[in-house]
Amino acid sequence: MLIKNSTKTEQCEQAMPKPKVYITREIPDRGLNKIKQYFDTEVWPEYAPPPKKIIIEKVKDADALVSLLSDKIDSEVFDAGPKLKIISQIAVGFDNIDVKEATKRGIYVTNTPEVLTDTTADFAWALLMAVARRVVEADKYVRTGKWKVAWHPEMLQGRDIWSATIGVVGAGRIGYAVAKRATGFSMKILYYDVIPRPEIERDFGAKKVDLDTLLRESDFVCLHVPLMKETFHLINEEKLRLMKKTAYLINNARGPVVDEKALYKALKEGWIAGAGLDVFEQEPTPTDNPLLKLDNVVVAPHISSASYETRSQMAEMVADNLIAFFQKKKPPNLVNPDVMKVRPL
C-alpha cells in the first residue's frame, strides 16, 4: 500500500482507501504527520482523555487504534471494533491493554520501548536526588521567606547519595540505565529480578539479592518492574517495614506496584525517610491524597519519559509500528508475537 515510486501494482494500491486510524490524543508532530501521510486519521482533540464510550464509537470502523496508557483497552473495545487489527500504544508499559484477549482475537499490540529508557532513568534520578537533598523543600523555603539566616550548619540537611547503596528492583532496560548512573556516584549496587541479569553484574558490579535483602540493605530503593498481577502491591506494609529508617523509595514504574496506604503510614511514622513518586495508584492522584501533605515526598504527574526528544521519538515509533503492519511486515515493537499465528501477516 501507499508507496511513493509507483509501479503499476502500486498505483492500483494507492487508489485503495487508506486504512482508518483513531488516535486517542494529539501526539507529537513527528509521529502524527507520518501517520496522516499513510492513513485516514482521526484524533481526539481534547487534552483530557476521551470517555470510553467515545473510543467504543470510534473503533466501529477503525482498522487501527493509537492508545495511551490511561486508555482502558479491553473486550468492550474489541467487541465494538470488528475491523480493528492493531493497537499501537505510545508507552513502553501496556498494562492498560488486555493483551491476552487481543491476541486471541488476532489484534496486534505494539509499544515504544528503548527510546525512553535513558530519559526515564534520568527522571528516577531526578526524584532520587530531589528527595534525598530536599530540593523541593529548599525551593519552598526560599520562596516563602523562611530563609532568614544566611547559613546554618543544620539547615535542610539531607542524605548523601554518593557512596550509598542503591537497590534496583527490576533490572531490565530502565533498571540497567539507573544502575549505570549510580556508578558515577560511587554507589554499591544491589538488584532484584526474577531472572538473572548478567549484564548489570558484569558492567556495573551489581550484586543479585533477594527482595528482602535488597530492602534491608539499600539506602535508595528504585522500582523498575512492569505492573502485572505478580507485582501488584509488591511493596506493601511488610516490605516497607524491612527498609532502613534512613532509606528512600523511588517509584517511576507503575503506581499499583506500591501499596499507597502502607507507604503513607511508613512515611508518616518514620519507618523510611522519604519517597519520590512519579506514579500513583489512581492517576491523576486526588488532591486530597494524604501523601501530598508530607514534606518528605517529592511528586510528579507521570512524566518520566516527558522530554521533547523522547516523546517525539515515541510518536514516530507509533507511526512506524502501524506502517510496518499495514505493509505486511512484522511491526518492530510487537508485544504479542503469538498473534501472528492467529492472524498471519
Q: For residue 243, which amino acid is it?
A: M
Q: How far apart are CA 284 and CA 281, in angstroms?
A: 9
Position 168 contacts ligand GLV (CB under 6 A): no
User: Of 73-102, which residues contact ligand GLV (CB under 6 A)?
Assistant: 91-93
Least Å distance between CB 172 and ligand GLV?
Answer: 12
Q: Which residue has the cell 531490565?
A: 172
Active site residue 216: no
State yes or no: is 254 an active-site residue.
yes
Phi, psi values for residue 285, rounded to 5°: -70, 140
What 3-state class would DSSP assign to 13? helix
Which of 329, 345, 342 is closest to 102 using CA atoms?
342
Q: Which of 65, 99, 116, 318 binds ligand GLV (CB under 6 A)?
A: 116
Shortest distance, CB of residue 94 to ligand GLV, whole angstroms? Answer: 8
Pick between residue 93 and residue 106 the one whose CB is nearest to ligand GLV: 93
Unique residue bearing C-alpha cell 548512573: 181
**Identified catalytic residue from 25, 224, 254, 311:** 254
23 in helix, strand or coil? strand
Quick one: 93 or 158, whose CB is closer to ligand GLV? 93
Task: Give the residue carrying C-alpha cell 481534547.
Answer: 46
Question: Is residue 258 part of the contact set for ligand GLV (CB under 6 A)?
Answer: no
233 is catalytic: no
Residue 336 lies near ligand GLV (rule: CB under 6 A)? no
DSSP 192-245: E-SS--HHHHHHH--EE--HHHHHHH-SEEEE-----TTTTTSB-HHHHTTS-T
Binding residue (CB under 6 A) for ligand GLV from 35, 66, 69, 166: 69
User: Which residue, 91 or 262, is less far from ligand GLV as judged by CB?
Assistant: 91
256 binds ligand GLV (CB under 6 A): no
Residue in the block written with cell 488476532: 106
Q: Which residues are catalytic?
A: 254, 283, 302
Question: Which residues sit at the interface with ligand GLV, rule CB under 6 A?
Answer: 69, 91-93, 116, 305
